Amino acid sequence: MTSTALFAGDGLLGSTPANFVAGTFDPDTSYGTTDVVNPSDGTVVATVPHASPEVVDRAVQAAATAQKAWEKRSHLDRAAVLEAVRVSLGDHAEELARILAVEQGKPLADALGEVGGAQNFFDFAISQKYRAVGEMVATDPGHSLQVRETPIGVVAAILPWNFPVAIFARKVAPALMAGNAIVVKPSGLTPVSALALARLLQEAGVPDGLVSVLCGNGRDTGNALITHKDVGMVTMTGSTRGGREIIKATADKIIPVSLELGGKAPFIIFEDADLDLAVQDAADARLWNSGQVCTCNEVTYVHESLHDEFVRRVAERFAAVTPTNPLTPGCTMGPLVAERERVKVQSMLDDAVAAGAVVETGGGRPEGADYADGAWLAPTLLSGVTSDMDIAREEIFGPVLPVVPFATEDEVVAAANSTDVGLTAYVYTKDLARSMRLMDELEFGEVYVNQVGPEKPQGFHTGWKTSGLGGDDGAHGYDKYLRRKTTYVRYAR
């Protein structure tokens, strides 16, 4: 198995964990540190320093200075720098993927896919290089009226741990292309990939100060960043709890806050669905990244006529999945990101069984010495679940799939819309009229019909209800990194 040493002295990480502040690496640990743990075996693979409020201030001041010069560079010039980053992501894909596999636990093949996804986010941002940045509004002779896009200034980005490279790119690429600077606070569970990306961006030609990466706790370093007087916008991906705290903390500043939060995606299979496709997609959309994707199939509603066959076939698929170390060739599923997450998911699973759910396969830590250490949880299928049970309503964010039978369309739409969240939903049916009806009636920002994700960079990943505010990707996601100025000029009497 490939070594899991991270700061081994070579490659993007070098030999010393350090925050990336205004173009230099600052290893100061006086404000505290976080141990980064490999979830496959529970070993500490790095110890990263926390950024103090003083370091946060230094990063934001440098960002504000660098941004003034950056916004004066043309879109074509900005795009050329981002293109160098996109190419470098490909050149360093293996190294970044190994870091992901070690700190986040996703299979190496999926980690390589995540780096490709990051390249796509840069590619979409680069596509804005010929963008019209404003409009002249027809007005009286001798007068001009313009509405023009301008950058916001300094953006604060708060990242989750499930896709540390892709979501870094999803926020940094459009923010920079729009002319902003950005200061990134990665999750304490997965900070190392962001530190590697900091070096990659610098080597690709991103001006010093324009991007900084600060490690530390969200409620401490993250709070110091988002409340800094010179931060003009916050973009965060993570839990609904974290999003609420960020809104409260920034309310006095009256700045834009974009939030991509939790979900509880219903996967609805009607009686006329292509069952082969539905079984395959329902299983894949649950087990991807060990179920730690905000768009995951969190509860499957299957028409009563297909229920038993669906349960039998998905149980078979789940039982055939053997979690292995993410660096093992051919690995299709790794551990959860951390022991705390395994404990949380196991507790939800035990509560569901206590409430009457039946474990069709899985149910806990896999058997065997290989799973004694680390955040391992077997793919688990639950039947005997009703839509009012917590396991059918609360986000699991792990490889556990509750299945709920339903009889009518009205019943299943009501159940799917009854939770507080509204990010992603899935509908499997061959009935075009029904699929269009469901797209209208489901209270979710993102609906997939007879297919699963991931999202497209030109789309719009947007959560309704408590799943978020605003959204990422595409033209709408790009627009949030801009503000507008309207000017009136009289040039002739």
Query: Rule CB under 6 A: which residues touch ligand NDP?
Result: 158-162, 185, 187-188, 217-219, 222-223, 226, 236-239, 242, 245-246, 260-263, 294, 395, 397, 423, 463, 468
- Considering beta carbons, is residue 52 or 223 the nearer one to ligand NDP? 223
Q: Please answer whether residues 365 and 349 qualify as being in contact, where contact means their C-beta atoms are separated by less than 8 angstroms.
A: no
The burial of 100, by beta-carbon neighbours within 10 Å (0-12 exposed, 13-18 middle, 19 or more buried), is given as: buried
Q: Which does 454 bind (CB under 5 to 8 A by kind): ligand LXHUK7UM, ligand NDP, none?
A: ligand LXHUK7UM
Q: Which does 291 bind (CB under 5 to 8 A by kind): ligand NDP, ligand LXHUK7UM, none?
A: none
Q: Which does 455 bind (CB under 5 to 8 A by kind): ligand NDP, ligand LXHUK7UM, none?
A: ligand LXHUK7UM
**One residue of 163, 270, 318, 481 binding ligand LXHUK7UM per CB under 6 A:** 163
In angstroms, what CA-CA distances link 479 with 179, 388, 447, 475? 12, 39, 22, 6
Tokens of 127: 């596509």
- For tokens 């729009």, name the residue: 178
Contacts of residue 491, defined as CB under 8 A and 6 or more positions apart, other chains included, come to 142, 143, 144
Q: Which does 166 bind (CB under 5 to 8 A by kind): ligand LXHUK7UM, ligand NDP, none?
A: ligand LXHUK7UM
Q: Which does 143 bind (CB under 5 to 8 A by kind): ligand LXHUK7UM, ligand NDP, none?
A: none
> Counting contacts by CB under 6 A, is residue 454 touching ligand LXHUK7UM?
yes
**One residue of 455, 462, 466, 482 binding ligand LXHUK7UM per CB under 6 A:** 455
- Considering beta carbons, is residue 98 or 170 the nearer one to ligand NDP? 170
Helix (H) or strand (E) holding 183: strand 181-185
CB of 268 to ligand LXHUK7UM, least distance (A): 20
Q: For 396, list phi and psi in degrees, rounded to 5.
A: -90, -50
Tokens of 470: 């605003």
> Counting contacts by CB under 6 A, is residue 11 touching ligand LXHUK7UM?
no
Q: Which does 397 bind (CB under 5 to 8 A by kind): ligand LXHUK7UM, ligand NDP, none?
A: ligand NDP
Cis ω for the linkage preceding 160 (within 30 of 0): no
CB of 263 to ligand LXHUK7UM, least distance (A): 8
Q: Please answer whether residues 142 and 490 qualify as being in contact, where contact means their C-beta atoms are separated by less than 8 angstroms.
A: yes
> Counting contacts by CB under 6 A, is residue 237 touching ligand LXHUK7UM?
yes
Q: Which does 398 bind (CB under 5 to 8 A by kind): ligand NDP, ligand LXHUK7UM, none?
A: none
Contacts of residue 91, defined as CB under 8 A and 6 or more positions apart, other chains included, come to none
CA 432 – CA 384 distance, rounded (Å): 30
Instruction: Say how many Å lie between the first and final Cα of the chain, rounded.
Output: 78
- Considering beta carbons, is residue 315 or 452 the nearer one to ligand LXHUK7UM? 452
- Considering beta carbons, is residue 191 or 323 the nearer one to ligand NDP? 191
103, 245, 260, 394: the catalytic one is 260
Of 257, 259, 254, 348, which Cα lies nearest the Cα of 298? Answer: 348
In angstroms, what CA-CA distances link 337 with 91, 102, 188, 240, 293? 26, 10, 11, 19, 12
CB of 482 to ligand NDP, least distance (A): 21
Q: What is the dihedral angle through the alpha carbons of 224, 229, 233, 238, rounded to the nearest 10 degrees? A: 10
Of residues 113-152, those binding ligand LXHUK7UM (CB under 6 A) = 117
3-class state of residue 388 by DSSP: coil
Q: Please answer whether residues 365 and 371 qualify as being in contact, where contact means their C-beta atoms are separated by less than 8 angstroms.
A: yes
Q: Which stretch binds ligand LXHUK7UM (CB under 6 A): 183-191, 299-307, 336-344, 448-456?
A: 448-456
x/- string (CB under 6 A) for ligand LXHUK7UM, residues 282-311? -----------xxx----------------
Q: Which does 261 bind (CB under 5 to 8 A by kind): ligand LXHUK7UM, ligand NDP, none?
A: ligand NDP
- For tokens 């991931």, name the residue: 454
Partners of 381 in the beta sheet?
A: 361, 401
CA 320 – CA 432 distance, rounded (Å): 34
x/- string (CB under 6 A) for ligand LXHUK7UM, residues 73-112? ----------------------------------------
b/e 33-67 (16+ beta carbons within 10 angstroms → b) = ebebbbbbbeeebbebbbbbbebbbbbbebbbbbb
Of 221, 231, 149, 153, which Cα lies nearest the Cα of 187? Answer: 221
Q: Which does 158 bind (CB under 5 to 8 A by kind): ligand NDP, ligand LXHUK7UM, none?
A: ligand NDP
| Residue 135 bears catalytic tag | no
- Considering beta carbons, is residue 161 or 270 the nearer one to ligand NDP? 161
CB of 118 to ligand LXHUK7UM, least distance (A): 9
> Counting contacts by CB under 6 A, is residue 446 touching ligand LXHUK7UM?
no
Q: Please answer whether residues 357 and 389 qualify as being in contact, where contact means their C-beta atoms are separated by less than 8 angstroms.
A: yes
- Considering beta carbons, is residue 115 or 423 the nearer one to ligand NDP? 423
Query: Annotated catalytic sites, by residue?
Result: 260
Which residues make up the interface to ligand LXHUK7UM (CB under 6 A)? 117, 162-163, 166-167, 237, 293-295, 453-455, 461
